[in-house]
Amino acid sequence: MKVTCACGCGKPVTVFRGRPRTYRHGHNPIPFPSWEKRFWAKVNKNGPIATARLGRCWQWTGGTKGKGYAEFHFEGRGHSAHRFLWIATRGPIPKGMDVHHKCNNRRCVRLSHLEVLTHAKNVRIGSLRRTTCTKGHPLVAATPYLRSRGLRRFCRKCKTDRNREWRKRAA
């Protein structure tokens, strides 16, 4: 049985879940804009200046994820915008590698500000950028305490306080 459009034009239509397809916006559906148009519409190329060497960040003006990373929706899923752009322009990210922001701006999507690093190196760089611990003690050269694994820095003052509390409870 040939199913025709309900508007009376006589054009054949597809059947979906037992019902003929209806067109809300005419017979020619509006083409969905390409990912490039959607992506670049959410980028402000006059963002903050990271450093004189790196230049201006290309600031993401769209939505963000929980920790402030730019988020871009593509094919029904949310993707980190910087990772999405890297994959779309430079190819897949090798397994075990992270896309690192050289500018330390989580909303930046400028390719010259991004580089691929191992996860361990990315974590180490992020740890070294911190200037204070979670309790506000300064992490200067004399106070950081590196664990034997060497991947995270700990505040020497906080470690001393934790040890003192533990000894009190144990006594």
Here the CATH number for the domain that contains residue 43 is: 3.90.75
End-to-end alpha carbon distance in the chain: 87
Same domain for 116 and 52: yes
> What is the mean predicted confidence (pLDDT) over 22-44?
74
Cβ atoms of 101 and 48 within 8 Å: the answer is no
pLDDT of residue 120: 87
For residue 47, pLDDT over 90 is answered with no
- Best-predicted range by mean pLDDT (29-43, 60-74, 143-157): 60-74
pLDDT of residue 145: 58
Domain of residue 157 covers 133-171
Give me the long-range contacts of 85-90 (CB less than 8 A, separation at least 24).
85/39, 85/109, 85/111, 85/114, 86/111, 86/114, 86/116, 88/35
Give the Cβ contact number of residue 55 at 10 Å.
Answer: 14
Same domain for 87 and 22: no
Name, in order, each residue with C-beta under 8 angstroms of 127's C-beta and a sequence gap of 6 or more. Answer: 151, 152, 153
- Select the more confidently predicted residue: 107 or 15: 107
Q: Report the C-alpha dihedral over residues 51, 56, 61, 65, rounded to 10 degrees.
A: -30
Same domain for 112 and 68: yes
Same domain for 122 and 40: yes
Confidence of residue 52 (pLDDT cuts 50, 70, 90): confident
pLDDT of residue 66: 84
Same domain for 124 and 51: yes
Across the chain, what does the average pLDDT equal? 81
CA distance 88 to 24: 33
Same domain for 138 and 116: no
